[in-house]
Amino acid sequence: MEHVQGRIFRDFTVPGVSPAERSAIYVAMIETLARLHSLNVQSLQLEGYGRGTGCCKRQVSTWTKQYQATAHQDIPAISHLSDWLMKNLPDNDNEQCLLHGDFKLDNIVFHPKESRIIAVLDWELSTIGHPLSDLAYLCVFYFWPRTVPMINHCSYFQENIGIPSVEELISIYCRHRGINSVLPNWNFFLALSYFKMAGIAQGVYSRYLLGNNSSENSFLFANLVKPLAETGLQLSKRTFNTALPQTDTAGHLFVQTRTGREVLTRVKDFMKQHILPAEKEVIAFYVQNGNSVDKWRKPLVIDKLKEMAKAEGLWNLFLPAVSGLSQVDYAFIAEETGKCFFAPDIFNCQAPDTGNMEVLHLYGSEEQKKQWLEPLLQGSITSCFCMTEPGVASSDATNIECSIQRDGNSYVINGKKWWSSGVGSPTCKIAIVMGRTENSSESRHKQHSMILVPINTPGVEVIRPLSVFGYMDNFHGGHFEVHFNQVRVPVTNLILGEGRGFEIAQGRLGPGRIHHCMRTVGLAERVLQIMCERATQRVTFKKKLSAHEVVAHWIAKSRIAIDQIRLLTLKAANSIDTVGSARAMKEIAMIKVAVPRVVCKIIDRAIQVCGGAGVSQDYPLANMYALTRSLRLADGPDEVHLSAVAGMELHDQAKALTAKL
């Protein structure tokens, strides 16, 4: 055994850390227990470590005898519980796993700064036996009666503080062990754990009476024995469903595939354990480096998280051909990643790279795919998309003036672009540029093309970063003005062919808008959480903010609106899955208008609830508002999409009227 430097949490509610880190601590704990129980006793040559089969029966007998030897009064609940346990032993009381025997939070050492376990302590009760006895013992504090003082002055469990539910812990445990999450005899093991706790409490009090216990509060344990035994009896009579609530697909409009549900569960676990706890570190990096040469770089933790996600197979989830997911599947995942500003990058699902990868996957030549798509899919480089121009109203994309002219075996690009996202990243190596390749014989929508331009090509000049309401968006590589001055690239860099730019753009923007909108729905959920937390904590005019009708109505309206835009976005995703992007244009345009508008309103309400703090750096709301408001311009302003929706609706109505006539 060696000395390790780390943290031990005595209070099971883990005060003093963020909800995200609290969740990650519990996930790490349950995963460690699952790994312990997955060890092969035979290969470790530990068959003789315990006393063989019948571990549950021995535990009931042992704790019964221990209680009887130390009892200071007659407690009928103890006898009743002991009798019930002996009569209801599990049929499979022959399982042989390595048990810890006292696996709980205060016997675990965590890394000084990370939610990572570096040591497990106190193995005195370890043996070979049934794994659910360890699991149930870990979960006893979820069922602790509020009328009974917590041991060691711990706090009672609360909702909405980041601690996973019992069902979530069981789901993670069973998934890591590869077993069914419907656990037989769960009531038995919970009852056994409370019986054990009652026996321990009785032993502590007995040693106090004998003067052998050094704790000054040992006498208090006398009052725990009876309520713990009674709680055990109550749990023995309960019927538990240990599985996570299943989605009732018959009652849902948009159903995920089985793979989609499994990947979503894994993404949620990864978010809880690894991504959300890293938020403070990532934010601190940009605060510290805001005026340094490192401001466009990413902190080291990002690369570490990316490697972990890639190892878990949570990589390139946005691309159906790679992930096997439908647009509906990925929509739910995008919502989850939208809850943290850097989460999409961890799974290599960040804009604008997702759109650029889709372009290369759908329209790129084999040479283009090998040179640029493969490193983008690997995450070894990033990219940018250059379309919008400062000199023309780019909301009408036919105005784009940047020229792409053929000159022998090359194309020469000249023009000015801005709002080219991601250019500031040191890993940005390639740009997809949209420009004019005029052909007087073709329509106005066949005058433009897309071409690949390496960022280090002579003539590419990065002019300046552009701020969004004062924010530079450093993490995502910023938004830049870029000039192309006699930039020469091979003709093989042209994508699909001359005059195909708008065709490519429509294929690129359909799924991309689904991704943007569902991430924004996830952001809205985070905003609503902040609003509710603040409203239940702050008091004005002698009552909590949540008790003021106007605030309560804001919360209700926000909940209603989030569910509405989620359904609208899922409808668009389902349309892409079933009829394709081209025939889903109306639905895609509708969400592009509805989602940013609704979420801007929700963020505004949250800012009002948070007051001055809401517009400060202490809360993410101001930055969230800036980025969400910019979505009403990105990929075309609201007004363009409204006109498009109106045109398609009028066409559909006229078509329906004609059919009736």
What's the CA gap between 594 and 607, in Å, rounded? 20
| pLDDT tens, residue by residue, 307-331 | 999 888 899 999 988 888 889 999 9
pLDDT of residue 247: 54
Indicate if the pLDDT at residue 537 is higher than 60. yes
Share of the chain above pLDDT 70, in %: 96
| pLDDT tens, residue by residue, 39-51 | 998 888 887 887 7
Task: Give the strand pairing for 428-436 and 382-386.
Answer: parallel
What's the CA gap between 410 and 318, in Å, rounded? 33
What average pLDDT does range 459-477 have in this prediction?
94
What is the pTM (predicted TM-score) of this model? 0.73
Indicate if the pLDDT at residue 251 is higher than 60. no
The percent helix, strand, coil of the chain (3-state, each to 5) is: 55, 10, 35
| pLDDT tens, residue by residue, 509-532 | 778 888 999 999 999 999 999 999
pLDDT of residue 661: 65
pLDDT of residue 250: 45
What's the CA gap between 543 and 550, in Å, rounded? 13
Q: Which residues fall within 8 angstroms of residue 367, CB to CB, at 6 or more apart?
A: 492
| pLDDT tens, residue by residue, 144-178 | 877 777 766 677 766 567 888 888 899 999 999 99
What average pLDDT does range 649-655 have in this prediction?
91
Q: Which residues fall within 8 angstroms of residue 524, CB to CB, at 6 or more apart?
A: 558, 561, 562, 565, 598, 599, 602, 603
| Residue 177, CA distances (Å) to 39, 124, 133, 236, 531 in order | 10, 24, 15, 25, 38
pLDDT of residue 246: 60
> pLDDT averaged over the chain?
90
Band (pLDDT 50/70/90 cuts) for residue 201 is confident
Whether the upstream peptide bond of residue 352 has omega within 30° of 0, thus cis, is yes
Indicate if the pLDDT at residue 536 is higher than 70. yes
Report for 60-74, 200-214, 572-586, 606-620: range of highest mean pLDDT: 606-620
pLDDT of residue 160: 60
pLDDT of residue 245: 64
Tell me, what DSSP letter sits at residue 471? B
Task: Look up residue 286 and give its two tokens.
Answer: 């940009």
Indicate if the pLDDT at residue 583 is higher than 70. yes
| Residue 630, CA distances (Å) to 113, 419, 520, 596, 601 in order | 35, 11, 12, 9, 14
Furthest C-alpha separation in the chain? 103
pLDDT of residue 152: 64
pLDDT of residue 493: 97
Tell me, what DSSP letter sits at residue 26? H
| pLDDT tens, residue by residue, 629-639 | 999 998 889 99
| pLDDT tens, residue by residue, 223-243 | 888 888 888 988 888 878 787
For every residue of 475-486, which 3-state class applies, written as one string? HHCCEEEEEEEE
Report for 109-118, 258-267, 380-389: range of highest mean pLDDT: 380-389
Nearest to 23 by CA among 375, 304, 273: 273
